[in-house]
Structure 1
Amino acid sequence: MTRALMLVAAVCIGLTSAACSNDEDGIPVGGDNIDSTPSSTPGNGADDGVPQNAPKVSNPIPNLEKYLQKPCDAIPKEQARQLGLSTATPNPDHDNGPTCEFADEQGNRVTINFNNKQPLGIAGVYRNHEQIPQFYEYFEPTEVAGFPGVFADSIDGRADGLCNLAVGITENQVLTVTVSIRQATGESDSCKFAKKAAETAATTMSRG
């Protein structure tokens, strides 16, 4: 499968299941290259039907609004250089939420997206996994600088340098980090890079 198709498949991981479903057969489908977790819409049951294993965000990011207005500020220039990234392209008006794409001269890319279609936050990602587990090729919980995260995607492109990481930065806000590495040397490389970028963003935003 081509890199472009795998990036397309990464769109639905942060969205509601309704937003990523085909109306005729209910099968989740991709949309663009930002993120790929189907989103969740609040329900009427206890705790909106959120699974008991869904993690809580114990120390939510303060003053999040300024990063929604300037998403590239989540990874300042000096920190981006330390990650080997030389350019930052903001898109605060992206349909799926404020976005910034960082890149280097070799074409390696890190895209961060403040997802606006997952109202239940990281708990909604867990609910999606409980409701439609067959959508995910991988779903691996992790921790990012003290915040709950999960590596998850509908297509496993890790061996080809692709990785998708969703991080709960408030109870209602998911930060999605999508990585594309042209010179991947193994399955874990892209996800290690995604986690490092996510840790940088989370640490920066935690400082206010």
Structure 2
Amino acid sequence: MINRRLGVLLLLAVLPIAACGSPVPGRALPEPAAVPSALPSAPPAAGVPKVERPLDAAKYIADPCASLTASQQGEFNVTSSRTNSDEFGVSCIWNVGSGATSPGVTYSTAFPDGLSRLYALNDIDWWDGGYFEPTEVDGYPAVYVSVVDHRADGDCSLVVAVSDQLFFESSIRTRPSNDSCLGAKNVAEAILKTIKEGA
């Protein structure tokens, strides 16, 4: 969420299950009101990857907790979930095991320009106090991104574009000894699988 993998699906259930402090992932991106309206002019950002195979995520915007199927939630050892919505978008936060590890997803409906907005912010050094690391998840453009770098504390955020207009954020809060960014990627891969299959 704006102040917030699955090489082996079961890894999240094992890796971050013994987790830390707060059960609510932090926001990785700036609140929409905090995002400067005057971004670099056309082109607004350099090197923004295009989504070659857009996905329809409308079903999951309406019900973000459905982004992980019942089977996936079982594999991740999800014990509870809750939804949230604000001016940024709609979210689901899952508790894993005892609830100390919390993966989350946010569909960013506040930014219709998708990843272009995040890349444009990078062009003006918005992420200098945190991190901005482009990658991909199952062939979809993605960025590890946050305004503050709390990865050493067990908090990681991964944004994945499902179209040129929409991205979702996969976030994890867990113990500092766990690989939170691997956990975020595990969850993002599972969510992409759900959306692709329309489950």
TM-score (norm 1): 0.75
After TM superposition, the structure 1 = structure 2 runs for residues 124-135 of structure 1, keeping only pairs within 5 Å, are 124-133=117-126, 135=128
Show the counterpart of 2:55: 61
Shift, 1:8, TM fit: 5.3
CA distance in 2, matches of 1:102, 1:60: 26
Q: Kindly indicate whether the alpha-carbon contact (under 8 Å) linking 1:136 and 1:152 is maintained by their aligned counterparts in 2.
A: no
Q: Kindly indicate whether the alpha-carbon contact (under 8 Å) linking 1:56 and 1:123 is maintained by their aligned counterparts in 2.
A: no
User: In structure 1, the residue corresponding to 2:123 is in which secondary structure?
Assistant: helix
Letter in 2 for 1:203: K
Shift, 1:41, TM fit: 5.3
Does the C-alpha gap of structure 1 residues 46 and 134 become closer, same or farther in structure 2, counting only changes over 3 Å? closer
The CA RMSD over aligned residues, in Å, is: 2.6
Show the counterpart of 1:137: 130
Does the C-alpha gap of structure 1 residues 103 and 56 become closer, same or farther in structure 2, counting only changes over 3 Å? same
CA distance in 2, matches of 1:149, 1:87: 27
After TM superposition, the structure 1 = structure 2 runs for residues 21-36 of structure 1, keeping only pairs within 5 Å, are none
- Cα deviation 1:49-101 (Å, max 9, x = unaligned): 231x1111111112x2111111111111210221232212123x333111101
CA distance in 2, matches of 1:78, 1:157: 30
Does the C-alpha gap of structure 1 residues 42 and 146 become closer, same or farther in structure 2, counting only changes over 3 Å? farther
**In the alignment, is residue 72 of structure 1 matched against residue 68 of structure 2?**
no
> Which ranges of structure 2 fall in alignment gaps of 5 or more residues?
1-20
Q: Kindly indicate whether the alpha-carbon contact (under 8 Å) linking 1:9 and 1:155 is maintained by their aligned counterparts in 2.
A: no
Letter in 2 for 1:199: E
* Percent of aligned pairs with the same amino acid: 26
CA distance in 1, matches of 2:127, 2:40: 25
**In the alignment, is residue 205 of structure 1 matched against residue 195 of structure 2?**
yes
CA distance in 1, matches of 2:64, 2:127: 32
Show the counterpart of 1:158: 151
Q: Kindly indicate whether the alpha-carbon contact (under 8 Å) linking 1:41 and 1:118 is maintained by their aligned counterparts in 2.
A: no
Q: Kindly indicate whether the alpha-carbon contact (under 8 Å) linking 1:67 and 1:73 is maintained by their aligned counterparts in 2.
A: yes
Does the C-alpha gap of structure 1 residues 133 and 98 become closer, same or farther in structure 2, counting only changes over 3 Å? closer
> Which ranges of structure 1 fall in alignment gaps of 5 or more residues?
21-37
Q: Kindly indicate whether the alpha-carbon contact (under 8 Å) linking 2:26 and 2:155 is maintained by their aligned counterparts in 1.
A: no
After TM superposition, the structure 1 = structure 2 runs for residues 49-198 of structure 1, keeping only pairs within 5 Å, are 49-51=44-46, 53-62=47-56, 64-91=57-84, 93-104=85-96, 105-133=98-126, 135-181=128-174, 183-185=175-177, 189-198=179-188
Structure 1 window deviating more from structure 2 (76-85 vs 169-178): it is: 76-85
Q: Kindly indicate whether the alpha-carbon contact (under 8 Å) linking 1:129 and 1:136 is maintained by their aligned counterparts in 2.
A: no
CA distance in 1, matches of 2:82, 2:41: 41
User: In structure 2, the residue corresponding to 1:86 is in which secondary structure?
Assistant: strand
Show the counterpart of 2:6: none
Letter in 1 for 2:113: L
CA distance in 1, matches of 2:77, 2:153: 19
User: In structure 2, the residue corresponding to 1:10 is in which secondary structure?
Assistant: coil
Q: Kindly indicate whether the alpha-carbon contact (under 8 Å) linking 1:90 and 1:99 is maintained by their aligned counterparts in 2.
A: yes
CA distance in 2, matches of 1:9, 1:201: 19
Does the C-alpha gap of structure 1 residues 82 and 41 become closer, same or farther in structure 2, counting only changes over 3 Å? farther
User: In structure 1, the residue corresponding to 2:120 is in which secondary structure?
Assistant: helix
**In the alignment, is residue 46 of structure 1 matched against residue 36 of structure 2?**
no
User: In structure 2, the residue corresponding to 1:57 is in which secondary structure?
Assistant: coil
Highest RCO, 1 vs 2 (Cα 8 Å, sep ≥ 6)? 2
Moved over 4 A (4+): 40-45
Q: How many residues align?
A: 177
